[in-house]
Chain A
């Protein structure tokens, strides 16, 4: 029998990026906020310190910062006519856990989505007509525009101290930045990071082809910075241990460096860690949440009543929470009805390996998680797709994040897989090779969705989330078109041998690709095709908000953290200025 606790005003399910942002803003209005985090508490000091943090085996290979598959995994199948089986070890995507969530061990790559991304269906149909869309695609508009989000993008970047060079300030193209970017009110809070050698080689190669290289926007800062919360960040030193690691230097933006020291001091906020939320409780009408039930570290169950429940977990876990709590109608791919789990999308990634002359010392170990140089000439809808027969695009960049050798030991085509020939090739090419990344859109399809697994359970006896996904054919065509462009760039960089990239079907969970899982609780203007409205409020249960990339109707070209941050501030403004004054649906269906 769960022990019933004293009611509070707000509960956040998860205290990562979105949870800590929401908790701070709402605690400041005077509300009593409880943040329930299933993982452990952890802080830069003492948990993220050198030298122990620079351990490739522990963090990159054994995935020490990630959700523990023993307790909670995800089941997977490529299509509905297969049986989903557990992803027994993470490879393709790596859900984080612990205080700060995935925002602790992200790479710091910091892009805004494009204007067209938010009105994707309208934009594509207007430019190309419906005929360009394969029949299974279910792209949608978001219900919010870039212009509405711009002040929130600005606020989020200044919270992080993001380092970059603006390409478009209020419509005026700025030299040195990305000429294709959406317009911004002002420049980044700090200047771009230094350009590493692989970035300089890419710059030269792409300029020779007539493209527009620019420095990658990075939340591993280029210089010391104090954010509007009064928290100080330091300069990134290019240690080469970024993604999957926490930053010991206070140089990477994370809840620990940009929010938590202030949040932890707020008397209206209480943090409970090592507590697993099992479900959101609803009243007898099923239209109002009464709070959550959770199990603490010792397994004891508690009921925490609350007026407002914010689902602020990793996107896959947001959707799972809605399904376990029976909020909203689950999606049925056969009938096409229902919304929870619908429009699951991912990221289409890959890239080429470019082998250079042995006189070129690339020194890939001198790197930050978000440094390097890239082009947006082929991002999103920045180029004419009319004659091409697919939608979407990718950015291309030399944006290596380190030279850690268990993961990085490239060998050219024709090298044996092991033995003396392999070893000699590794020694010869390690320091003279550049990875050129292609990274882009993932189009929503009626075939790709999330649901609850009928067979496999987590450590608390609850059904695991089931993922049914393969790359839509549209995205394969896009990726293969781009792969040829990347090879051309590799040759312009002086590549003597190039391993071509490009994505193929079927999607496999056995190789790392991206942790940008999206959708399943998408936002929109029509409750028949969305789970939350344009303020991320659940249509079915108005005192529940589902915050994060689960709201994306499809994924854009870029890494999505900054867009999540902007959406979170946007939802917060609606909660503070409208919802708290008059709790209830903010949008009439």
Chain B
């Protein structure tokens, strides 16, 4: 994280509050999540920079953080979506071109269509998330318990209800919202860290994907060989730091 971002965050601390701490404020967070302090998950939690949200408001961010933590949870061996920075990824995507509807045919008339005709709603992703999250907030408020104070089992049960489409979230069928959230979580977990997720390339380390760039001509016919080297990001500088620059091609130093 650059100095500029850190200064901005220190100023904004009062407004951002609890959601900052949950993204990882060192050993306390690691222990609170029940992580073995020597594990990759704990290391990621310790090193994790708090997220500066530019799109999601405080309530939306709180729900997203708790939800992705259930969709891909941390375990003793590997960080989950929260530690990997997936909320940051989602925030930056929603704030950017994709969130605003790039590559989305946006003319009406609007008809529900058959499942084979795909997405037929007028919402851009940014509109879809704002609308659905506001409806979820209202739904949880009327039920009494905020999502962040539910037990893991209760959170999973709520997510499953969204997944089946039983709720209408201000015009967004809840299964459509869930599918968007799950797809964003997958992308934020597995995409190149240049987009703000997959912190420390943790998801790539977990599966053994070597990353953005390599030549395998000498290795492809060494059948069954175990590849152990650390993964590389397309935006990695000479010191191994990955700089977040979505949409801007990386340059070698």
Contacts and interface: CB of A to CB of B under 8 A. Distances in A.
A213 to B, nearest CB: 15
B177 interface: no
B192 A423 contact: no
Given A86-B107, A405-B204, A431-B207, A55 B234 contact: yes
A510 B191 contact: no
Given A54-B213, A240-B216, A506 B80 contact: no
Given A420-B73, A426-B207, A51 B212 contact: yes
Given A70-B102, A88-B119, A197 B224 contact: yes
Contacts of A69: 103-105
B72 to A, nearest CB: 5
Nearest to B227: A363
Given A51-B212, A57-B187, A423-B73, A70 B116 contact: no
B158 interface: no
Contacts of B111: 83, 85
Q: Kindly state the interface size class of chain A when it binds its partner.
A: 35 or more
A405 B220 contact: no
Interface string A62-84: 11001011100100111000110
B103 A239 contact: no
Contacts of A420: 73, 75
Given A238-B215, A457-B107, A406 B186 contact: yes
A50 interface: yes
Contacts of B134: none
B40 to A, nearest CB: 12
B103 A89 contact: yes
A235 B104 contact: no
Contacts of B226: 361
A89 B118 CA distance: 8
Contact of A427 (B105, B107, B194, B206): B206
Contact of B72 (A51, A68, A423): A423
A430 B209 contact: yes
Contacts of A82: 114
Contacts of A68: 103
B151 to A, nearest CB: 14
B191 A56 contact: yes
Contact of A55 (B119, B209, B212): B212
Nearest to A407: B190
Contacts of A122: none
A134 interface: no
A244 to B, nearest CB: 14
A394 B182 CA distance: 34
Contact of A403 (B114, B203, B209): B209
Contact of A52 (B70, B102, B249): B249
Contact of A365 (B101, B206, B209, B225): B209
B104 to A, nearest CB: 6
Contacts of B229: none
A91 B190 CA distance: 19
B14 interface: no
A214 B214 CA distance: 27
B75 A62 contact: no
B117 A77 contact: yes
Given A51-B234, A83-B111, A197-B223, A88 B105 contact: yes
B187 A61 contact: yes
13 contacts: A55-B194, A57-B192, A61-B187, A62-B102, A87-B117, A89-B104, A360-B224, A405-B190, A405-B204, A406-B191, A423-B80, A430-B207, A507-B116
Interface of A: 50-52, 54-57, 61-63, 66, 68-70, 73, 76-78, 82-83, 85-91, 194-197, 200, 235-240, 360-361, 363, 365-367, 371, 403-406, 409, 417-420, 422-424, 426-427, 430-431, 455-457, 506-510
Interface of B: 70-73, 75, 77-78, 80, 98, 101-107, 109, 111, 113-120, 156, 159, 163, 182, 185-187, 190-192, 194-195, 203-204, 206-210, 212-217, 219-221, 223-227, 234-235, 249-250
